[in-house]
Each structure stands twice: as structure tokens, then as C-alpha cells.
A and B are shown apart, each in its own frame.
Chain A
Amino acid sequence: MNKAIFFKEWIKTKNAFWILFSILGLVSIYIIFQLYHTCEFVSAIRVWNNYLIDDKGAYINLMKLLPLLSGIILAFVQFVPEVTLKRIKLTLHVPYPQKRMLFMMISIGVLELLAIFGFSLGIYIIYLSTIVSHEIVFASFMVSLPWFIAGIAAYILVCAICLEPTWRGRVINALMAAAFINIFFISPFPKSYNYSIVGLIIVTSLCFLIVLRSMFRFKKGLQD
């Protein structure tokens, strides 16, 4: 059954997955080319200075909102057809634990996002580590990590918004999601999220409970 669920979700989201994978991958490759161009035609010293002096989020700033948009788009692609075509009713009526079913669906989306983010951030980090020291690589990574976690949080919360049966509930969930995701963009100062990043990851994971809440309300048949 797990394989069937995976396959079903993959069929729904594979086009969006590959498009997002390509977009974020291409942006990362563009950033790498910027670094390469600076090293070849100016000097590697300029790259160091861009990180040390000018802007701690140098180069990677281009990626700032892409993970957030990726999470929102993937959630829409995965759950809007379920809700508008009323397929979610069938999904929740198959002889399979409903909470586990929903957990599998969300997990597949999260895994897809992790694959996209892992690839795009990974190639950037690997290339950057050949130019600058590990302290600057880590600082650049810590500047961008909240943005990627925001993407996963956005995915989970948009799933909850889509599954919510009432428009009033959707608006409230949307406002709550906007406020929560805002936390990830408070400060671009490197390593400023050192003390809170683990907590943010835990709370993001717990946002699955909000998806469950939407599912319970959907099953109850709540209406506006």
C-alpha cells in the first residue's frame, strides 16, 4: 500500500517536482557561474571580500524566496486537485489508517522538497568550499538554512490550508502561516539563527498536526 501511495503522489507531483528541481538547480548553477566568473576574471580575493565585508548573504541572496515559492507550489499541485475534484474523500475512505495516509502524502512532498533543496544548496556549498574557508561556507549555509526550512513549513501549512473545509478556516490558517513563515526571514545576519534553528525545525515538523486538524474538520463535514 505504501508503494501505491508513493506512486499516486509521484504521478501528481512529478511534473512540478522536475520543474522546481530545474529552476532551483539552474539558479544554483548561475550562482556558481557568478563565483567562477569573479574568481577567473577578477580574483578569488574579491569573493572573500564579498562575504567578509560587503554582504554576508552575498550570492546566495538570489535564492531567498525560491524555497518558499517551491513549497507553496508543490502543496498546491498536490492538494488542490484532491480538494476541488473531491478525491480526498476517496483517499480517506480506503482501508488504510487515515493519519498514516496523510502522513505518507505529506512526507512524500517533504522528501521531494528535501531532494530539490539538497541538490541546489549542496552544489553551491560544495563549490563555495573550494574558494573560501569552512567558516564562511558555514556562515553562508546558516544564512540560507532558515529560507529552506521556511519552504518546508510553507508546504506543510499550505497543505493544511487546502485541506481545511471552510473558507474562514483557510483565511485564518493563511494568516497564521504568513506570521509563522515571517520568523524565518527576520534577520539575514549569518549564524543569528544558531540558537533557534533546531526549535524552528521541531515546530515545522509539528505543523503536521495542523494538517491533521484540517483533516478532522474535513471529516466532520464542517462548512461555512
Chain B
Amino acid sequence: MKIATKIFYYTLIIFLMAWILPSLYNFLFYQPNSIANYKYSPITKNFVHWEYTDGQSLYLDSENNHYNQDQYDSLLPVTYYFILQSKNKAIDSLEGYSIDRMSIGMGMASGSGGPRNINTPHLGVKEIMESTKYRLALQDPTQVFRFTKNSMEIINKRDNKIDTLKTRLFTDAFNEAGIQWPVLRSSGSPSSRKSYDFGYIILDSNNEVYHMMQVHGKPYVRKTSVTPDMGIDLISMREPMNKEYLGYLLGNNSLSLLMANKDYTTTKLDFPLNMHKENFWIMGNMLYWTVTVARDDSFDLYAINAHTYKTVLHEHHERPVMKYTKTLKWVFPFTVNFQRKTDRWIYPSFANFSWYALILNLLLSGLLVFIQRKRKDTNYGMSIITIFFGLFSFVPALFIKENS
């Protein structure tokens, strides 16, 4: 039993040190490695960005040309329209399209996602709202729904009771549309703070996509043109101002738009994206979308024509490896993390295994033997353990005295 208590005690301490010490190291030596805000310029036909370096703002393009802030604003006439307008430098058309307040508002596009959005706990209930406006505005949702193995249940928020009539109506509507239960995913934006509501996009277990709305209290369910061979496994409702498309469909290393037409056709964007491993964000306007696809060691920029949805420019950039991550492998044999960039779950995971730390481990082990001999402590077990665990066992061994 004494041995069991010792084993557990030291195991717990080493485990906690493997979590705390690398966290402390990151906290002390962290260097930011974020990606600058790149945008496609329709004037220079390349990507421009600004960065803050050595206490000053730099405005650059892909060919490393430097601009001042006024020039930079002019390179992005849609993004900085209102600033340019205040200086009487705004242009009223570009590439045959009129640039004004209305067209800018209608043409905005945005979106982002990554593994963290997929690997996240879900509540299990979502709000459902009436898609038609009441007196010129949408109303806050008063009901929620959940998908069961073979139905959609609607619950009133007021009394926490199932609305059996609506439950039957919506379930029947899904069955008529040909849904394959159970539903895998659903995506919507149930907020009254928007100009219109497109309801939800639903992904069933046959990887087919449906569009669902509540119209005058009744279900509107339509099957889209998405087929199982497209391999769609992720969906995201966007509801852009121009109502051209419903949202994004992700699967088979690609991103497609689910168009808001009668046949719910899809338009595939021609750049690769695997949201299970990569983060992406889209900043778009009426002329071009700038898509950034980021990984730990590199990122890609794509300029997408907002009308044809074709890629007009692609750039690949490597991300510099920060000094502190380079030195991490020499210091710690591994690290324990409870949180990761790829999910929202809390559980311990082991990462950053490194043989390079063996050198430091051996040095620390020798130092520990020396210290223990000075202390006349004959328990050399920790010195042996330090060969494998390095600083994680060295630091506690310095302070813990088994026999005082």
C-alpha cells in the first residue's frame, strides 16, 4: 500500500507538472503568430494587408510595395468606401458595377470556421422562429425544437410542453420530403436582429441536405439538389443580404454554396478546404471575396469573384516558426494539454513528444544524483525517473524529502 501511495502521488505530481510547466513557458515566452488581415485589391489585382511592426503600421501588397494609409484606403475602394467618401475620393463604379451604399450592404459576405466549430458540445435544442415578418420585423422565437431518432419535436418555451400538432406537421413534412432519420446536423440563425430569416439547413444521415422554415406557423421543408456522392458532412447557414445563397456546404475537401433558387442548386468554390483540419475565414464584398485557409505552418489566400465564384488569384504563404516553439522540444519531453485549438472538450492529451529533451533530462538526472548525495538521500528512484520526465520530476524532487 505504501508503494501504491508513492506511485500515485508522484504520478499525479509529474502529470500536473507536465501541464503547468509548459503552460508557464508559453505564458512567459509567447510570441504572437497571427495572420495579418489580407484583402484582395481590385485596383492592384493582388493581396494587400497592413501589419503593426516595431511600433509602426505598414501597408503592403504581395510584391512588398509600401503604401501610406491614404493610398491603402484607395486600394480597397469598397472596404473603405465611407472613409474615401468623407475625403471626396470615393469612386462610384468599378469593373462595370456601381459602388454605392446599397450595393455595398447587399454584397457583403463573411464566414469562418475550423475544427473547433465541428468538435464542440451541442446543447441538443435549437430555437425555431417564424420566418415571415410581423409588422415589418421578425419576432423573437418562442419555441425550440429537437431532433429525435425519427421525428422533430417542437417545445413551447412558455410552458415547457411539446406542441404536438406542430411536431406532427413538421415530422410529416420531413417524411414527405424523403428525409433519412436521424438528422446529423442542422444550422440556422434564429435571431430577430436581421432583415430576413431563411430557417435551417438540415443534413440527414444519407448526407442529403434539406431546407426548413416555419411559414405562418406551418412547415416548409424542401429537399435540395445535394446528393450523397457529394460527401457533404458540414453545413453552415449564412443568410447574406443579397439572398443569393442560403449557406455553405463543406465536404470532400471543398466548400460549396447552397443557392437560394427554386432547385436549390450548388456552386462549388474552386479551392481546397478541409474544415476538419484547417481554419478558414471569408471577408467579401460585392466584387471579390478574400478567403484565407490557415494551418499551423502555412496559409493560403484566394480571391474569389463574387459574381462568377471563380478563383482569380491564389497565394501560398509559409508561417514562421516562433523561436519559443523551436526551443520547446529541447526543454520538455512532452506536454499535457487540457484545451486544444481543434476542439472545445476538456480532457488531457499528450503532445509535442521530443527526443531532443533527453539531453537535458540526462543532465538534470545527474544533477539530481549529485544533490541527493549531498543530502545523504539514498532514494535514487527520482533520478532514474528524471531521465524520462526531465523537468517534470526534477522540480518536485528538489523540494520533496521522503525522509526528514
Contact = CB atoms under 8 A, between A and B. Distances in A.
Contacts, number: 108
Interface string A126-149: 000011110110110000000000
B396 A191 contact: no
B157 A48 contact: yes
Interface of B: 1-2, 4-6, 8-9, 12-13, 16, 19-20, 120-125, 127, 140, 142, 144, 146, 155, 157-160, 338-339, 344-348, 396, 399-401, 403-404
19 contacts: A52-B125, A131-B160, A133-B125, A135-B124, A169-B400, A172-B400, A179-B19, A179-B20, A187-B346, A190-B121, A191-B121, A195-B347, A196-B345, A203-B12, A209-B5, A210-B12, A213-B2, A213-B5, A223-B404
Chain B at the A interface: SS class: loop
Q: Which one of B13, B155, B396 has the highest number of Cβ atoms from chain A below 10 Å of its Cβ?
A: B13
B158 A43 contact: yes
B9 A209 contact: yes
A147 to B, nearest CB: 13
Interface in A205-224: 206, 209-210, 212-213, 216, 220, 222-224
Contacts of B403: 220, 222
Interface string A43-76: 1110011001000100000000000000000000
Contacts of A206: 8
A135 B123 contact: yes
Contacts of A172: 396, 399-400
A26 interface: no
A99 interface: yes
Contacts of B338: 183, 186, 196
B339 A189 contact: no
A84 interface: no
For chain A, what secondary structure do more than half of its interface residues adopt (helix, strand, loop), or is it mixed? helix
Contacts of A49: 140
Contacts of A133: 125, 144, 146, 155, 160
Contact of B345 (A131, A138, A195): A195
Contact of B146 (A130, A135, A186, A191): A135
Contacts of A193: 346
Given A186-B346, A192-B346, A196-B348, A45 B123 contact: no
Interface in A168-193: 168-169, 172, 176, 179-180, 183, 186-187, 189-193
